Amino acid sequence: MPITVSIPTILRPLTNNQKRVETHGINVLDAINQMEQAYPGIKEKLISKEQAHRFINIYINDNDIRFHDGLSTSLQDGDLLTILPAVAGG
C-alpha cells in the first residue's frame, strides 16, 4: 500500500533532499518504521517511546493523528502523510 509522505525541509537531509517519499504501512508507526529502513535516523527525529515527539505534528490527509489513534492511526492506499515541525516564536 503506497503512502506519500511530505517531508519538511529540516528533515530532507535524511531523505536525500526529497520533498516527498513513498512508503508502505498499515498505520503511522508502521510507515515510520518502513521509512527508517530506507532513511536511517528519521525515526528518532519523529518519535520516541512509541509516541510522536511533542514538537512534531503528523497529519493524514489534513487530519491530525492526535485526534484519532495517534501512531496507531490506520493508513489507506493513496493517503498523504504530512510531517510538520511545530513553530514557535515571540
Residue 7 within any structural domain of the chain: yes
Residue 76 covered by a domain: yes
Distance CA 56, CA 70 (A): 12
Domain that holds residue 74: 2-85
The mean pLDDT of 27-53, rounded to a whole number, is 95
% of the chain residues with pLDDT over 90:
86
- CB 1: neighbour CB atoms within 10 A? 13
Residue pair 19/37 in contact (Cβ under 8 Å)? The answer is: no
According to the model, what pLDDT value does residue 65 have?
96
Which CATH number goes with the domain that contains 23? 3.10.20.30
Give the mean model confidence (pLDDT) for residues 16-31.
97
pLDDT in the model for residue 87: 78
**Would residue 77 count as lying in a domain?**
yes
Q: Give domain status of residue 90, yes or no.
A: no
Are the CB atoms for 21 and 39 separated by under 8 Å? yes
pLDDT over 60 (residue 1): no
Enter the DSSP assignment of 14: G
pLDDT at 90 over 70: no
Q: How many domains does the chain have?
A: 1
